[in-house]
Structure 1
Amino acid sequence: MPDDLPYVDEHAVRIAAPRDVVWPVLERHGKSLGLPRGNLLAKVLGTRPEAGFEITASVPGESLDLTGSHRFSNYCLRFELADAPGGSTQLRAQTYAAFPGLTGEIYRTLVIRSRLHVIATMYVLRSVERNCRPLPLR
C-alpha cells in the first residue's frame, strides 16, 4: 500500500534486544493497535476497518504494515526491523498517507503539522521497546 501513498515521515528507536525478541512484541502491538469497537471517534471519522488499522503485510522478523482509511485520510504505518550493534534492533516506523480535499488538508494540519502524529508514533515505538525489556528479578 505505501506505493500508492505519499511518504509523510519516519521515526525510530534502538531496542536492546535481538529481532527474534522484538518481532513477537511488535506483532502483538500491531494486532491490538487501534480504537475499541463502538468508539465515538471511529464513528465520526468513519474508520475502515472500525479499529482504524489492520495488518495488511507481514514479513516475520522484518516488517509489518498497518493500513486504514477514514473520511479525511488513507494511510499506512510500516514498521521495519534491522539488526543494530551489540545485538540490538533498530525499529523504524514509516508513515505514508494521503489527505484528499480541503477537509483532508485541515485534518493533516490537526494531526501531522501539530505533531500529534509524532507523539502517537513514538508512543507505539517506546511501548514496543518497554515490552521487550526483561522483567526485573524479585
Structure 2
Amino acid sequence: MNRDRAWQALLKVVCTDPNDPSAPRGFRLDSADAPARLALSGRHWFSRYALIFELDEEGPSRTRIRAQSWAEFPGVHGKIYRALVIGSGGHQVVVRRLLRQVAGAA
C-alpha cells in the first residue's frame, strides 16, 4: 500500500476520528507529520510513555510502518508495573496486534 493509504489506516486504528490525528485513543498528540510520522505520549500513576510511528515508503505500493515505544517507570510501583508490562512480554504482544490492525485497516 502507498504511504498515504498506510497513514489513513494508522489514524483509523489509533484515533477516535480517522480524519483527525489530534484525537488519539488513550494518548496525547505530540506531533503529526502526515504521512511520515505520528508521535504520541501519555502518562499514568506508574509510567510516562511515548509511542512513535514512522512510515517509510519502500516503493510505489509498499510502506513499512515502524513503531517505537519509550517509557519511564519511576519509583517502586513503576518498577513493579514495568516487570508486569515489559517483563511479561505483554507490551510486545499489544504493539504487534496494533500493527496487525493497521495492516488490516489498509
> If the TM-score is normalised by the length of the shorter chain, which range does it land in?
0.7 to 0.9
Q: TM-score, normalised by structure 1?
A: 0.67
**Structure with larger RCO (C-alpha < 8 A, sep 6+):** 1
Paired residue total: 98
- Listed as ranges, the matches of 1:32-47 within 5 Å are 32=16
Of structures 1 and 2, the larger Rg is shown by 1
Distance 1:77 1:100 in 2: 18
1:52–1:131 CA distance, 2 compared to 1 (3 A): closer
Calculate the TM-score normalised by the size of structure 2.
0.86
User: 2 CA distance for matches of 1:53 and 1:20?
Assistant: 22
2:4 partner amino acid = D
| Structure 2 equivalent of residue 23 of structure 1 | 7
Runs of 4 or more, structure 1, over 3 Å off, are none
- Check conservation: 1:81, 1:89, Cα contact below 8 A: yes
- Shift, 1:85, TM fit: 4.4
Equivalent residue of 2:50, what SS?
Answer: strand
Cα offset, 1:29, TM superposition: 2.0
Gaps of 5+ in 1: 1-16, 33-50, 133-138
Which residue number corresponds to residue 59 of structure 1?
Answer: 33
User: Percent identity at matched positions?
Assistant: 38
**Runs of at least 5 residues in structure 2 that lack an aligned partner in the other structure:** 17-24
How far off is 1:52 after superposition? 3.0
Q: Give RMSD over aligned pairs.
A: 1.3
